[in-house]
Structure 1
C-alpha cells in the first residue's frame, strides 16, 4: 500500500513537471531557447547517467534538455524518472530500441533550440563553459561551433585532452575541420542545418554512424568556428560502445562510407579530405578492428582494401596521407598498406627491446 502511494505521488510529480516543460516548449523561440541538449540513453550505468544529467546547467532558461530513453531496461527507466522528479527539469521521451542515431533524431524532432548539442549519456559537460558558449553563439551566430574535449576515465581523472584552438572564438576552414573530427558530440550544431532534406541521420551501422551523419552537415555549413573552452568530458570505460565494438561490427565502417558518398553534394570540393578520412577510418582503425582474429581478419581486411580500391583508387597519392606517414612513422604506414605481419613483428621487437631498456615502446 505504501509503495502504491509513493508510486502515485511520483507519477503526479512527473506529470506536473512534464506539463510545465511542455508549456515552456510550446512558446518556442519566445522563451529564448538557444541550446537544446539531446541525450540518448540505453542501459547506461546509474553513476554515469546521474553525473551526465547533473552536469547540465538547468537553471539557465536558454537551455532545454531532452532525454530519449531508447528502450532501456526497467531499472534504467526508473532511475531516469527518479532523476526527473528530484531536481532535473528535462523532457523525457521513451521509445522502443532503435539505436543511438534514431534516438538523437527523435530528440531533434522534439527540440526548439536554435542550436543542438548531442551528449552521450556516459559523458558529461562543464556547465560554466556551456553558459559561456551560449553567449558566444548569440554574439557570432556560427553554423557549427567546436569546443575543447577532455578525455577522462570513469572516475573523472584526466587521460588526455583535445584543444581546438588557442583563441576564445575563431572561424576555421571546413577543410581543416573535416580531417580532425568524427563524432556528433564534438560540436554544437545549428538546428537549421537539419531542415535540409538531404541531411539525415545514418542508422545503417554502429561503427562510423557519427562520422557518416556529421560529414554532410559540415559540408552544408557556411560558418564553422572553434573555441578554446573545454566543454565536454568524454569518459573512456570498458562498457562504452567504442570499447565494445567487436569484429561482428568491424565492416560497418564500409556502410558508413557508402552513406557518406551517397549524401554529399559538393564532395568534389573536399576530395582529398574525404579520401583521407576513408584511409584513416577504413584502412587504419578498420584494420585494428578486424585483425583480432587472424583467419577471419584477413578476409575482412581484403574487403576493406577492395572498398578503397573501388571508391578511392589513387589513395596512396593523397597528400594528407603522405604527410601523416612522415608524422606518424613506419607503424602507421605498415598498418594502412596492409603489412600487418610486419607491423606485428615490429611491435614484438620493440616490446622485447623495451624490456632490455634499449628501445621505448611507441
Structure 2
C-alpha cells in the first residue's frame, strides 16, 4: 500500500497538464501513486500523460469516454490503493512538499479529512490572490488549525470550502462512508457535505499547498449550460442534510445558501440561458 493516491481527472487541459504533473512527480514524498483519468480528451492530453507514464512507473492512466469530472474521480477512487486520497485538477498544481507534510500531519492527528489552504492564480492577470476566504479559512478565525473538530464545532458550516482538492482523505473513512461524486457539474458540494457531516476527526493546516487556476473558459467561469447544474447541486446539498436528519436544524441557512447560489449563477450565466435557468430555479 502506498502512502497517498493522487487522482487527477483530465479533460482537454494539454496546455496546463505538464505543470500539474511536474508538481506531482517531484513531491518530496515519493511513496505515492498517480492515477490520471483521461475523460475522453480530444487534444494532446493523452499523449502528454503517456509520455510522463513512460518515465515514471507511479503513473497509472485510465481512459474513459467523456462522462464528466465526477465520473472520472469515482473511476480513480475505484483504482486507488493509498492510505490517503488527494485530488488534483489537471489545470492546477501543488507545492512540492504537499504530500509529505499532509501525510505526517494526518498520521499524527489520525484525521478522517485534513483541510489545507489554497491560492487562486488569476490567469488573465498573471497574479496570485491569497485573500479568498473560502480558500484560507480565515472566516473560521484560525481556531481549528492543528486541532480535531467536527461540523458541530463550526458556527457557520457553509463558510468551509467545498472543493474536493483542498482535503486529504483517509481511504478507510471514504470506504466506510461509501460516498461518491454525482454525475453533474458542481459535484464537489454533494461529496463534501456527505463526508463533512459523517467525519469524526477533522483538522486544518494553515499551509497554502494548492494553486487553483482561475481561467475564463473553465466550467465554473464560462457561464455556459453547465451552470444549470448549480440548481441540481443546491438541491443535492439539501437532500444530504435531510438524509442526515439535520434539515430542520439548518433549514434557514440551507435555503439562504440555495437562494444566494442561484442568484449568483443567474447573473453569471449567458443571457440566452437566463430565462430557462430562472424557470428551473
Give the shorter-chain TM-score range: 0.7 to 0.9
State yes or no: 1:75 paired with 2:53.
no
The farther-off stretch of 193-202 and 262-271 is 262-271
Provide the residue aligned with 1:51 in structure 2: 19
Pair 300,157 (structure 1): closer, same or farther in 2 beyond 3 Å: closer
Q: What secondary structure does 1:68 align onto?
A: strand
Pair 272,295 (structure 1): closer, same or farther in 2 beyond 3 Å: farther
1:289-328 maps to which residues of 2 (within 5 A)?
289-291=265-267, 297=274, 300-301=277-278, 303-304=280-281
Deviations 1:202-255 (A, max 9, x none): 11x21x211012111111111111011111111111222211242x23332232
Deviations 1:117-170 (A, max 9, x none): 111111110122331111101211110110011111238631234323377612
Pair 219,167 (structure 1): closer, same or farther in 2 beyond 3 Å: closer
- If asked which structure has higher relative contact order (CA below 8 Å, sep 6+), I would say 2
Provide the residue aligned with 2:211 in structure 1: 233
1:103-182 maps to which residues of 2 (within 5 A)?
103-154=72-123, 157-161=127-131, 162-164=135-137, 165=142, 169-175=146-152, 176=154, 178-179=157-158, 180-182=160-162
Q: Is the 8 A contact 2:122 2:215 kept in 1?
A: yes
* Count of residue correspondences: 268
Alignment TM-score, normalising by the size of structure 2 = 0.83
Q: Is the 8 A contact 1:143 1:223 kept in 2?
A: yes
Gaps of 5+ in 2: none
RMSD of the alignment, in Å?
2.7
Provide the residue aligned with 1:344 in structure 2: none
Q: Is the 8 A contact 2:216 2:222 kept in 1?
A: yes
Alignment TM-score, normalising by the size of structure 1 = 0.66
Q: Is the 8 A contact 2:35 2:59 kept in 1?
A: yes
Provide the residue aligned with 1:243 in structure 2: 221
Q: Distance in 2 between the 1:270 and 1:289 partners?
A: 23
Q: Is the 8 A contact 1:64 1:90 kept in 2?
A: yes
State yes or no: 1:283 paired with 2:259.
yes
Gaps of 5+ in 1: 1-27, 305-362
Structure (1 or 2) with the greater helix fraction: 1
